[in-house]
Structure 1
Amino acid sequence: MSGIALVRKPGPRVAEGIVTNIGREPVDADLAARQHDAYAEALRAAGWRTVEVARADELPDGPFVEDTVVVCGRLAVLTRPGAPERRAEVEGVAAVVRELGLETAVIEEPGTLDGGDVLQVGDTVYVGRSARTDDEGIAQLAALLGDRTVVPVDLRGVLHLKSAVTALPDGTLIGDPAYVDLPDLLVPEEEAGSHVVLLGGERVLMAASAPRTARTLAGRGLDVVTVDISEFEKLEGCVTCLSVLIR
């Protein structure tokens, strides 16, 4: 068993989720639900035990559970999302991480922090300075993660840091230099190729919308699992957004 994966099923209002940097497209809520089920099944097939946060049908962005909590070891930092209408999502996640026995801390007002802006690579924690995460939120996170090196990263034209860059199992950063300035980026062949979930060992999860990048990573020796998340991509979501892995 690799660990626990927190997930939250989408509700019937998922199509009303916030869209910031792309045009709004129709979202099929039923298809989104099926895609979410397949995503969770891919995590289970890789050895993760999925734990569901209680559905919150009144919160359209609820399935993007990554934004509500940052887990570092046994510490769960409950975020204060930059979009006020998303702050109610944190309560249900807080209940679950406490039930799991994690220590909790909270990002306090006036700071804002979205978990999608936090990329952990070894002892380094990159944090996107975005429309959703501000300097105060970054400073609070750095104080809570005192044994880690926290590196603020400026973004342009993208919602979250992990919309632009993630990391491979060996620590190589993969991302789009159009959105972020970080050294030694492996540039993917599709925008969605920037989004990688580390499932353990050399296995990674990617979106089906990045087939060329998936082939490239397989050529580097990685075991690539792909899932179709088209309905969530219409809402600026990616494979990292839909779970929080507790190792």
Structure 2
Amino acid sequence: MPARDPAFPYRFTHAITRAPATSIIRGLRAVDTGNPDLATLRAHHDAYIATLRETGATVVELGPLEDFPDSVFVEDTALCLPEGAVVMRPGAPSRLGEAAEMAPHLKALYTEVRTVDEGHIEGGDILVTGREILVGRSARTDATGIASLARLVADWGHRLREVHTPPGVLHFKTDCSLLDAETILSTDRLAGSGCFAGYRVIPVAEGEEAAANTIRFNDLVLMPEGFPHTRDAILTAGYTVREIGNSECAKLDGGMSCLSLRFSPR
């Protein structure tokens, strides 16, 4: 097996996004704070894509899927690794078909695409750090799905560690994100579990928990607008930050990582 670049979890040549459908107003949400404004959401989405492209990455923009209101959140459909992609099995019944829709696009970019066929697992519960893959058990990801994923990536040389998503939190990465191979941005409620022992943790500011879901994409950290204390902490740690509007996706529990699949296929 060829040596793996230790920066592979945050240095990417490609990303896949999907345009929001007009049906997004029927999207899933934990708390109803009103429907997203489609025009504003599209403007934010366009800014997000432009920022990914600014780093030199190729961004594949897929068309909207009206039958799947949550389909803009493509991260939940797959796990993309250097060696291949794994199609997920979402835990929300209304989202199962999204993974099947994503599979042919992954096959166009990867020589090997595998599929989770037992239990349930969503990409929002998976944090790839380079040394390991952390998978958070949640309402959308169960032990059977985690075990299935572990088997599928074992011969690619990846080790999984099951952790737990805090109660009342949708996905593991709702509360954390990778800034580099040794550094994780996290809420106190998640880091307090001890799941990041051995990593440097930058804490999200109190009251700014929604800022925890960022993405490191090449030399930029993309984070949602409106969280100045957490932004300043990331800047102080030496990262280059780009703030992106996320007010409308947030109404559907969506964040920066949810909106793309990021990878460098071999």
TM-score normalised by length of structure 2:
0.87
State the partner residue of 1:191: 209
Of 192-201 and 144-153, more deviation after overlay is shown by 192-201
Taking the aligned partners of 2:144 and 2:196, their CA distance within structure 1 comes to 25
Determine which of 126, 135, 152 is the counterpart of 2:143: 135
Between 183-192 and 228-237, report the one with greater CA deviation. Answer: 183-192
Contact 1:157–1:179, Cα closer than 8 Å, also in 2: no
CA separation in 2, counterparts of 1:49 and 1:192? 28
Aligned counterparts, 1:9-158, within 5 A: 9-20=19-30, 22-109=31-118, 111-146=119-154, 147-155=157-165, 156-158=167-169
Q: Could you say which residue in structure 1 is the equivalent of 2:18?
A: 8
> Which residue identity lines up with residue 215 of structure 2 in the other structure?
V
- Alignment partner of 2:106: what SS? helix
- Classify the secondary structure of the residue corresponding to 2:180: coil
Q: State the percentage of identical aligned residues.
A: 33
CA contact (8 A) 2:91 2:121 kept: yes
* Structure 2 runs not aligned, ≥5 long: 1-10
- 2:43 counterpart SS class: helix
CA distance in 2 between counterparts of 1:101 and 1:2 reads 14
* Counterpart for residue 230 of structure 2: 213
- Aligned counterpart in structure 1 of residue 183 of structure 2, from 164, 172, 175: 172
In 2, are the aligned partners of 1:79 and 1:113 still within 8 Å (CA)? yes
After superposition, the C-alpha distances for 1:179-228 in whole angstroms (9 at most, x for unaligned) are 46224542111112212211114x21111132221111111110111100
* Cα separation, 1, equivalents of 2:131 and 2:236: 27
- How many Å apart are 1:44 and its aligned residue? 0.7
* Alpha-carbon distance in structure 2 between the residues aligned to 1:225 and 1:137: 34
Q: Which runs of 5+ in 1 are unaligned?
A: none
- Give the deviation of 1:134 after TM superposition: 0.4
1:2 offset after TM fit, Å?
4.2
In 2, the alpha carbon distance for the partners of 1:46 and 1:18 equals 31
Return the alpha-carbon distance in structure 2 between the equivalents of residues 236 and 117 of structure 1. Answer: 13
Q: Secondary structure at the match of 1:13?
A: helix
**In structure 1, what is the Cα distance between the partners aligned to 2:120 and 2:111?**
22
Output the amino acid matched with 1:169: D
**CA deviation after TM superposition for structure 1 residue 78, in Å:** 0.2
CA RMSD of aligned residues (A): 1.6
With normalisation by structure 1, the TM-score equals 0.93
Deviation at 1:165, TM superposition (A): 1.2
> Alpha-carbon deviation of 1:47?
1.6
Cα distance in structure 2, aligned partners of 1:94 and 1:66: 12
Secondary structure of 2:202 counterpart: coil
Which deviates more from structure 2 when the two are superposed, residues 188-197 or residues 35-44?
Answer: 188-197
Relative contact order (C-alpha < 8 Å, sep 6+): which is higher?
Answer: 2
Amino acid of the structure 1 residue aligned with 2:176:
V
Consecutive aligned runs of 4 or more in structure 1 exceeding 6 Å deviation:
none
